[in-house]
Structures are given as C-alpha cells and as structure tokens.
Structure 1
C-alpha cells in the first residue's frame, strides 16, 4: 500500500518533485565540484613540492646557514696563471657545500633513533662552479721618441711603450651535485628518480669514482653512460642516467656520499638528513620531537613548504579552500531549506487528502512516514542528478586542464632536497613551474553526495511530516467548498 501510494503521489506531482530534486541537485553538484577541484589543487601542490623540493609526507633536518665572517665571506675565488701561453686552456672548479651548515654524519643515527622515525638518511649538497678558458697576451709596442728638449722637465727623448690586444675568454658553468648514501637509495636524493639508462649505484660503490647524471643535464652536455665527467680534476665514470618522476629536478650529478664529502672537503659531514615517519599522520609530532631533542636544527615538512607556494596555484587553492567551500555549504543549506519549504507548502495543499486519510483510520505516524518517504525519493533523485552534474563539471575541468603557475621561494632553513627523494641544493632564488589542473572525483566524494541527498530528503520530509501529522479530519471538512 505504501509503495503504490508513493508512486501515485510522485506521478501526480512531477513538477513539484522535480523542483525539489533540482534544488538539491544544484547544491550537491556544487559540493562535488568544489571538493574535486580542491583535491586537484592538493595534487598540484604536492606535485610542485615533489618537483622542486622532492618533499612528500616526510621531512628534512638541516641547520640554517650562519652569517659569513669578514675573513670568510663564502664568495668563490679563482686563481689563474696570467703568464701562461695563450694556447693553454685553464680550468678551475670551485666546490662549495650548500643548503645550510654542515651536520655531523653521526646525527643521522641520532635522528633515526627518535620516537616516530622510521628511517633517516644523510646527504651532502654541493654546488660546483667551473671556470675554464684562456688568456691572450697583448703585444707591446714602443712609441717614437720625443724631440730633444720637449720631454717632461726638458729631459731627453726616451720613447714610451704600450700594450695592444690581449685579454681573457672564460666560460662559467654552475651545476649541483648530491652525495647519495648508496646503501639506502629508497630515501634521499635519488628516491624520486628512475634510472632510464645504465644502472644505479650498488652497495659496494660507497667510495667509487662513479656518477649518475640527470637526464636534462646529460642532454644539455651530451653525456652518456660511456663517458666520464670531471670535477676538480677527478674523473667519474657515468654509470646511469636518472629521469625524475616529476617534471623538474634540482640535482644535476649524483655521487656516492663519501666521494661528495671528499670533493667538498666535508669529511663525515652532511647538509641534509632525510626522514620518514612511522605514521604519516604524526608528522608534526615527529617534527616537534626532533627539534626538542636535537637543538639547533631546522625540521622542514611539506606543510612548511606549502606555505611558500605563491602564484595562481596558491590563489586558486585559497579560493577553493575558503570561498569555494563556504559557498558550497551556503548553497547546500539554502537547497535544504528550499526543499523543506516546498515540501511543507505541498503538504498544506493536501489538507483534504491527509484529513480524509486520518478519517479513514490512518494514524499520524503513517501519514508522516508517507511524506518522509516521498521526500527521501525526491532527495535520491536530486542526489543522482547532482552527482551527474558534479561529476560532469569535474571532468570538464580535467578536460580543459587550465594551467596554473606555482612559485616556490626559499624557506630559509630547508635543505636542498627537502624530503623523500628530490634533492640537490637549496634554491636560493624562487622556482617557478606550470601545473595543469585536474579535478579528480573520489568515491568518498560520491558517498558524501549520496549522504547529503538522503539528509536533504529527511530534513524536508521531517518538516512536511510534522505539519501533516498535526492535521485533523475536521480540517478536510473545512476545506470543502
């Protein structure tokens, strides 16, 4: 009886049912769209952080760079023999650790022993500035002697000499080097890169003169696994070409950690400690523990770096997070209220119907159940329409893929890689990249939409049912004209 009556009443009031369903659908569609775009923003931000800093859910431990003293400004110095023959090419490499002050390698073990830390690996970030070129000696020429009596002070007439030509032609090339703990490559500078040519380091190559270069650096300098790379007069055999999982990498050359320490004159030192937590939900707790127990260090997480993201990605993310979510909540509440008011209004127009049913013996709870049932069906119809509209809008955003720019500045204390993988040197200047926005729709979002649809139907049905339950059979007689 309930089902038959429900079907008949919905068929009789198709327009009213569709108005209620469409109101709920618009609110639910907006919620799905905003949630999907917000998820896309989060993915884009994670991609930016991974691309530029290599930081995922882990953290890095560094030490802020101290201010240079007068005697050691930290500026590179190059010394060349200017008297060399012009045909000789001179070259000099300046290798400097960067990404913060050096940390004792023993701190890696200390960090690994902190509560909540699953693993810790040290790495050394270096910057190599290579200057090579040659001098061209000038040619000395003698001028004609001055006439007698016309020299300075009336003196005799010796000639004056001058040098013509000469100069220097030097090329300056700067690139980054990361020292990798070859015994644990799942964490550290190479973790987010794939070896697309050759091989990676083996555990036996802790102090071998071998190198892995990034794909972009190899392409720029025409390097292959059959060639070598020379740094500070030391030749390294290239054993692999690494392609980062993300679009960009800040590291050009990877060396075994001990070799990097030798190059940078940083024996038993690292600049960055990469840390993974046992529970990704306890990142903040682990960060606080490390900072408390190991003084003088700076612990940087993805949340810290996210605060440095600017550009259109940051603006859009803020809009989606704040304005978008509040707007969707406001629209959803308005949709619920409209559905409730329309249901209550529809009940008012059915006075004779419900009064007659009560006169025939229907109890108030049965009348209320009938109204609530109709409202839930309207809510489900609205939910289905809202999910369809919301998913369509999300797919439209993904298909269009609007491009957003993201700019990351220095955090001041973060080391070069910044987290799991990634790695090289800290970016002194800001980094900019473009990200195509997508709007993924998760099953959680669909479940949320379905729950909201049912909730909207229940709210509307509760208000309409309450009003219907208060009607008396006499109300039906008074409504007869």
Structure 2
C-alpha cells in the first residue's frame, strides 16, 4: 500500500517533485565540481613539488645558508686561457660548480637516516657546469706613413703605427648535473622522471662514467643512448633518456654521485639529503628532530615548499578551497531549505487528503512516513541528476584542461634549489655566489578527477536533503486533525 500510494502521489505531483529535485541537483552538482577541481589542484601542486623533490620525498635537508662575507669572492668562477699563437685555435674550458656553494658531509645522510621516524634518507649533489669556448684573434699592426723611425732612444716601430682588428669571441653555455645515489633509486629528483629510452643506473655503477639525460636536453643537444657527452674533460656514455612527468626536469644530466663528487672536487660531500618519513602524519615531528639533533642544517618539507608556489595555480587553488567551498555550502543550505519549504507547502495544500486519511484510520506516524518517503524519492532523484551534472562538469574541465602557471619562489638553499636552474641558480640574483635560487615557472594542465568518495558524498547529500525536506513536511502533516478535513469540504 505504501509504495502504491507513493507512486501515485509522485506521478500526480511530478512538476513539484521535479522542482525540488532540480534544486537539490544543482547544489550536489556544484559540490562535485568544486571537490573535483580541488582534487585537480592538489594533483597539480604535487606535480610541481615532485619536479623539485622527486616522488616519495617528504622533506629535504640542506646546509644552513652562511651569511655573505669577504671570502665569497674566492668562490666565484674563474677562467684562465693561454694566449696561443695559432689564430684559428679554439679554446674551451669547463667549470663545475656546486649549487649554492653549500655542502654537507656525506656522514649527514647516515645521521639523518638514524633519526626517529625516518624511513629512508638519500644524499645527492647538485652541480652547475659552465662551459666557455671560443678563440682569440690577434690584431693587425698598420704602420703610419713615414713612421719607420722610432722616437727618442732610437727604437724602430714604436708609436709609428696602430693595431686594428683582433679580440676574442667566446660562447658561455651552462647546464645542470645531478649526482644521484645509484644504490637508492627509489628516492630523489630522478624519480619524478620516467625512463623513455635505454635504462636507468645499475647498483654496480657507483663510479662509472655513465649518464641519464633529460629528454628535452637530449633533443636540444642531439643526444641519444650510447652517445657520449663530455663534462670537464671526462666522457660519459648516455645509458638512458628520462622524461619528466611534470614537464620540467630536475636536471639536464644525471650521473653517479661518486663521479659527481670527483668532478666538483667535493669528495664525500652532498648538497641535499632527501628524506622519506615512516609516517606521513609525523612529518612535522621528524623535521623538529632533525633540526634539533643535526646542527647547521635547514629542513624543508613539502608543505614549506608549497607556500612558495604562486601564480595562477595558487590563485585557483585558493578560490577552489575557500570561495568554492563556501559557495557550495551556501547553495546546499539554500537547496535544503527550499526543498523543505516546498514540501511543507505541498502538505498545506493536502490538508483535506491527510485529514481524510486520518479519519479512515491512518495513524500520524503512517502519514509522516508517507510524506518522508515522497521527499526521500525526490532527494534521490535530485542526487542522480546532480551526479550526472557534476560528473559532466568535471569532465568538461578535464577536456578543456586549462593551463595554470606555478611560480616557485626562491627557497634559499632549500630543497630543489639547484636542480635544473643553470647559471642563474648557481650565481644567485645579481651574479653573487651563494645567493637565493632563482624562481622557476611551470605550466600545469588542470584536471578534475571524480573519486568514488565524492560520489558517496553526493549520495549522502541527496539522502540528507530528502530527509530534511521530509522532516519539514512530515512534522506538518502529523499535526493535522480529521476535523481539518471536514472544514475544507465544499
């Protein structure tokens, strides 16, 4: 009897039911779209951080930046060339610089790994290579007319002519090199890239002259697997080509850590320690432990680095998390109130019907259940429409894939400060040594993934909306008396 009466009443009042369901659908659809866009923002930010940290890295440990002093001048790169007699002889030299000129002893990796809450710690050495090549050209001496005799003192030539032409033409190229611990491939910046050609390092290649090259750099320099690249006079064989998942690699070249230390004359030195916490909920406590127990270090977590992200990605994330969330809540509250008021209004128009039913023996609880059942069906119908609209809106966002720009501010020697930055990062703003890292811009395509949890929230909202609306109407219907029906009889 319950379902027969329910079906008949919903069919008879389908316009009112559609209005209630549509209001709930709009609110639920907005919640799905906002939740999906927020999830897309989170994924985009993760991609940005992975381009610096590497997959699975929770924090990095670097040497605390020293205040600038007079000794900084000695750390600036110097280039020396011989004045060779052959005009056509090209000269070339490489200068391998440790990023930021700040290093930690390799023993710091073991110390960090021994801290409570640390699951794994891996060291790495970030380098920038400045390559200068070109040639000198001697000038040509042209004597003046009548200037064969010299001046006082009887010399010849002297001021009797001038030197024209000549000079020097040199090209400066910079690229980044990262020394990675080949024995721990699951942590560090290389994990943010996929090997698309060749292979990665073998655990036995701790001191081998092998390299993995970023795909963009490989294309620029026409490098491929089995070709060689020369770094400061040492030839490295390319064993693999890696493509960064975020679109921007941490470094142009990756080589074994021990080889990188040899090139930079930094034996047993690292610039960064990459840390994976045993429990993601204890990252803050692990950070505090490292800072307290290992002096002279700076610990940067992914949350710290996220604070440096600006640009359209940051703006859109703020809108999605703040304005979008409150807008969704406001629309849902309005939809629930409208549904409740419409249901209550419908009960007012059915006074004679419910009064008659009570006169025929229906209890107040049965009348209430009937009204709540109708409202619940309206809520489920609104939920189905809302899920369809919300999933469609999220799919549209993913199909359009608007591009967001993430501008990473300087981290001052923190995580990722020297990965992929070239000369600007090596020298710091204004060319001074040990300066803050230059900012880094990344373009990220926004997606709006819809999770099962989001659908579950939508269903819960639909049921909740139906129950709230039914509660309004049921309470009103339960208070009606059979005498009310008799007063309405015409």
TM-score by length of 2: 0.91
Tell me: CA distance 1:157–1:344, structure 2 relative to 1, closer, same or farther (3 Å): closer
Contact kept? 2:246, 2:444, Cα under 8 Å: no
Matched residues in 1 for 2:187 and 2:322: separation? 35
Tell me: CA distance 1:321–1:245, structure 2 relative to 1, closer, same or farther (3 Å): same
Residue 256 (str. 1) matches residue 265 (str. 2): no
Ranges in structure 1 where 5+ consecutive residues have no aligned partner: none
How far does residue 383 in structure 1 lie from its aligned partner after superposition?
Answer: 0.6
Contact kept? 1:25, 1:385, Cα under 8 Å: yes
> SS where residue 474 of structure 1 aligns?
helix
Residue 200 (str. 1) matches residue 200 (str. 2): yes
Question: What's the counterpart of residue 27 of structure 1?
Answer: 27
Question: What's the counterpart of residue 454 of structure 2?
Answer: 445
Ranges in structure 2 where 5+ consecutive residues have no aligned partner: 426-436
Question: What's the counterpart of residue 80 of structure 1?
Answer: 81
**CA-atom RMSD, angstroms?**
2.4
Matched residues in 1 for 2:444 and 2:81: separation? 45
Question: What's the counterpart of residue 175 of structure 2?
Answer: 175
Which structure 2 residues correspond to residues 114-193 of structure 1 after superposition, within 5 A?
114-145=115-146, 159-193=159-193
How far does residue 94 in structure 1 lie from its aligned partner after superposition?
Answer: 1.1
Matched residues in 1 for 2:148 and 2:275: separation? 82
After TM superposition, the structure 1 stretch with the greater mean CA deviation from structure 2, 59-68 or 12-21, is 59-68
How far does residue 166 in structure 1 lie from its aligned partner after superposition?
Answer: 0.8
Contact kept? 2:147, 2:161, Cα under 8 Å: no
Tell me: CA distance 1:55–1:63, structure 2 relative to 1, closer, same or farther (3 Å): farther
> SS where residue 441 of structure 2 aligns?
strand
Which structure 2 residues correspond to residues 361-376 of structure 1 after superposition, within 5 A?
361-376=361-376
Question: What's the counterpart of residue 339 of structure 1?
Answer: 339
Tell me: CA distance 1:121–1:147, structure 2 relative to 1, closer, same or farther (3 Å): closer
Contact kept? 2:408, 2:440, Cα under 8 Å: yes
Tell me: CA distance 1:226–1:69, structure 2 relative to 1, closer, same or farther (3 Å): same
Tell me: CA distance 1:97–1:380, structure 2 relative to 1, closer, same or farther (3 Å): same
Residue 461 (str. 1) matches residue 470 (str. 2): yes
How far does residue 355 in structure 1 lie from its aligned partner after superposition?
Answer: 1.5
After TM superposition, the structure 1 stretch with the greater mean CA deviation from structure 2, 194-203 or 112-121, is 194-203
Residues 1-31 of structure 1 show CA distances to partners (whole Å, capped at 9, x for unaligned) of 1111111111111111111111111111111
Matched residues in 2 for 1:442 and 1:376: separation? 24
Contact kept? 1:125, 1:424, Cα under 8 Å: no
> SS where residue 125 of structure 1 aligns?
strand
Matched residues in 2 for 1:34 and 1:105: separation? 46
Contact kept? 2:189, 2:250, Cα under 8 Å: no
How far does residue 453 in structure 1 lie from its aligned partner after superposition?
Answer: 0.5
Question: What's the counterpart of residue 95 of structure 1?
Answer: 96
Contact kept? 2:47, 2:245, Cα under 8 Å: no
Contact kept? 1:55, 1:301, Cα under 8 Å: no
